[in-house]
Amino acid sequence: MIIILLFTMLSLIIGIIIWPMALKHRTALCPPLFPLKISSFKPVWKQTDWFTPKGYKLSLMSAALICFGVLPGVIFWLNRWIGIS
């Protein structure tokens, strides 16, 4: 179980490291990062016009790694704290 937790933490950290690399490949259509507006958010698969092809691949990979790192970690800690089986 500890190996799975370490693997998910590693994927979360790698996803967070890759995200700024994807932001370097933004196009002019990408909204500004600050101030954040909820109305300007799109799902990751609809952000193809915001990035160059390389930036879109990095963005998609980063989102997948972050999700893969967060979800099993949340399940693990909920299982330990609350006792969900």
- Show me where the domains of the chain are located: 2-28+47-81
Residue 2's pLDDT band (cuts 50, 70, 90)? confident
| Model pTM score | 0.76
Q: How confident is the model at residue 15 (pLDDT cuts 50, 70, 90)?
A: very high
- pLDDT tens for 48-65 read 888 999 999 998 999 999
Q: Per-residue pLDDT for 1 more than 80?
A: no
Query: What's the sign of the alpha-carbon dihedral 38, 70, 9, 45?
Result: negative
- Residue 24 confidence class, pLDDT cut points 50, 70, 90: very high
Helices 2-23 and 53-81 sit at what angle, rounded to 10 degrees? 150
Residue 75 pLDDT > 90, yes or no?
no
